[in-house]
Amino acid sequence: MSADTTRTGADAPVGPADAAGRDVPADRDVPADRDVPAGRDVPAGRDVPVAPADPAEARGVRWAWVGLGALLLLALAALTRYLEQQVPALAEGTALEDVAKAVEYPVYAILLGLLGNAVVTLLGWRDRLAAAFRTEFLIKTGLVLLGASINLAVIGSAAGPAIAQAILLISGVFLFTWWLAGRFGLEDKLRALLASAVSICGVSAAIAAAGAVRARREQLAYTASLVILFALPSIFLLPWLADVLGLSNEVAGAWIGGNIDTTAAVTAAGALAGEEALQIASIVKVTQNALMGIVAVALTAYFTLRVERRPGAARPGVGELWRRFPKFVLGFVAASVIATWYLDTAGADGKATIAIVNDLRVWFLILAFVSIGLEVRVASLREAGWRPIAVFASATVFNLLLALALATLLFRNVTA
């Protein structure tokens, strides 16, 4: 590889503000022409690749790293699948038999992702490989495939409560987080990112909100890191708590879908809680995703007309709503319509065919969960300080309680 490296200065002159609104070294941020994907910051003192002078060579080097990242992702996913299928058989008859049966693929995938993350970080490769870790794309493809396992009637019966829960939860949690972040003195753009991430759908919402309020890249990277940091324990904690609280599968699914921020983690927790809980959790989360466009447009209008007061700025219209609508929601519903029709016409044989779709879905979810583990960034969290973490933690607890109340109220009569 001919990529040289340069060092971003940690003890450089003081710039205006970091992700948390505190002063930071002036040259720590990523310059506009630096080839770093949006949402991935470069911590102080970290070696970063500089593109070779020849653009074609630079492209070749970049694609080689992306290919290597994709291979790593696939290898860890294949290992996850192997462990998921073989460990219970290998542990049969031993003292670990029950544990081996209880550990499902999200656990292996996330742990292997974290392990891979530690290794590539030690090797100094992670920033170069990161472009291959497309968690959002993988989870959305997995969700479209998940739509094929959900009967249209289930979507029909859960849609009303899901929309009601999403509107109440997004409004309540967004306003609480916005208010609390203001009390902690955080900058308005970071307030918008944190509030959107906690209340709607984690990383996707943070990306949409960052575009709406024109937040800085490190603020987006920082918010995305917080989302993943809080989502990881929730994946295991919520299914366990749902069991302890004796929630029905439907209420547990609605709680998981309404509370965990990022869609990938919702799916992981839902998978641990059971197939029915997974179906309801995904419907609830997809509904929240669908409302993301409305919040993004409202934020655009608020920041353009009230916060930044850009002269002559136009109010965003209906076209903007469609542009920001997460299109995979359409794929999720379309897959359910197609599969429901197929099962009605193909009869008993149809179930075996849909089982193949379910296996493909599991592969995409495994890839997404491995990718989550590979993407965790502790460095950007350390740099931002304690205040945004305190806001995010408080908002998560508020979300947890409000989502539990709403799920219990709205989903008690829903059957998956």
Partner 1 sequence: MSTEEQSPPTAAASRFAFNEDWAATLLGLLLLGLVLVGAIPAGLVP
Total number of residues that touch partner 1 (CB under 8 A): 56
Q: Are 170 and 288 in contact (CB under 8 A)?
A: yes
Q: Is 140 in the site for partner 1 (CB under 8 A)?
A: yes
Q: Which is nearer to partner 1, 30 or 406 (CB)?
A: 30
Among 12, 26, 237, 298, contact with partner 1 (rule: CB under 8 A): 26
Give yes or no for residue 137 binding partner 1 (CB under 8 A).
yes
CA–CA separation, 272 vs 242, rounded Å?
Answer: 11
User: Which tokens go with 133?
Assistant: 């870790």
**DSSP-derived secondary structure for 339-390:** HHHHHHHHTTHHHHHHHHHHHHHHHHHHHHHHHHHHH--SHHHHHH-HHHHH
CA gap 241, 279 in Å, rounded: 18
Residues 6 or more apart in contact with residue 79 via CB below 8 angstroms: 108, 112
Residue 312 Rama label (left phi>0; alpha psi -120 to 50; beta): left
**Could you say whether residue 207 binds partner 1 (CB under 8 A)?**
yes
Q: Which of 120, 200, 277, 335 binds partner 1 (CB under 8 A)?
A: 335
Q: Which of 1, 4, 6, 15 binds partner 1 (CB under 8 A)?
A: 15
Query: In angstroms, what is the minimal distance from the CB of 39 to partner 1?
Result: 8
Question: Does 377 participate in binding partner 1 (rule CB under 8 A)?
Answer: no
Binding to partner 1 by CB under 8 A, coded x per residue (else -) over 285-304, reads: ---------------x----
Binding status of residue 71 toward partner 1 by CB under 8 A: no
Q: How far is the CB of 350 from partner 1 (least distance, A)?
A: 9
Q: Of 99, 119, 313, 330, which one interacts with partner 1 (CB under 8 A)?
A: 330
Residue 10's CB is within 10 A of a number of other CB atoms, namely 13
Q: Is 48 in the site for partner 1 (CB under 8 A)?
A: no
Q: How far is CA 409 from CA 4, 34, 192, 381, in A?
A: 58, 50, 29, 36
Q: Which residue has the tokens 């993407």?
A: 375
Instruction: For residue 226, give Cα distances in angstroms to 75, 169, 229.
Output: 27, 20, 5
Q: Is 166 in the site for partner 1 (CB under 8 A)?
A: no
Q: Work out how close the CB of 57 gets to partner 1 at its nearest, in angstroms, rounded to a whole number.
A: 23
Distances (CA, A) of 316 to 69, 167, 210, 301: 38, 21, 16, 6
d(CA 177, CA 199) in angstroms, rounded, equals: 8
Residues 6+ positions from 258 with CB-CB distance below 8 Å:
165, 166, 169, 284, 288, 399, 403, 406, 407
Is residue 149 a contact point for partner 1 (CB under 8 A)? no
324 vs 404, which CB is nearer to partner 1?
A: 324
Task: Provide the token pair at 213.
Answer: 């309020």
| Cβ-proximal residues to 360 (8 Å cutoff; 6+ apart), any chain | 145
Q: Using CA of residue 92, residue 96, residue 98, residue 101, what is the dihedral sign?
A: negative
Stretch binding partner 1 (CB under 8 A), from 47-55, 68-76, 205-213, 270-278: 205-213
Considering the complex, what minimum distance in angstroms separates the CB of residue 338 from partner 1?
6
Q: Which of 40, 191, 217, 377 binds partner 1 (CB under 8 A)?
A: 217
Q: Is 327 a residue that touches partner 1 (CB under 8 A)?
A: yes
Question: Within positions 222 to 251, which residues make up the interface with partner 1, using CB under 8 A?
Answer: none
The site map against partner 1 for 86-125 (x = CB under 8 A) is ----------------------------------------
Question: Pick from 44, 110, 132, 144: which binds partner 1 (CB under 8 A)?
Answer: 144
Task: State the nearest-atom distance from the C-beta of 359 to partner 1, in Å.
Answer: 4
Query: Minimal distance in Å, beta carbon 33 to partner 1?
Result: 9
Of 143 and 400, the one with the shorter C-beta distance to partner 1 is 143
Cα separations in angstroms, 80 against 36, 74, 91, 110, 111: 29, 10, 16, 9, 9
Q: Locate tokens 């990277």: which residue?
A: 221
Beta carbon of residue 61, minimum distance to partner 1 (angstroms, whole number): 20
Q: Using the rule CB under 8 A, which residue among 169, 210, 238, 252 binds partner 1?
A: 210
Applying CB under 8 A, among 1, 2, 4, 16 the residue interacting with partner 1 is 16
The reply to whether 383 sits near partner 1 by the rule CB under 8 A is no
- C-beta separation of 109 from 272 below 8 A: no
Interface residues toward partner 1, by CB under 8 A = 15-17, 26, 29-30, 32, 38-39, 78, 81, 134, 136-138, 140-145, 147-148, 204, 207-208, 210-212, 214-218, 220, 300, 323-324, 326-328, 330-331, 334-335, 338-339, 342, 352-353, 355-357, 359-360, 363
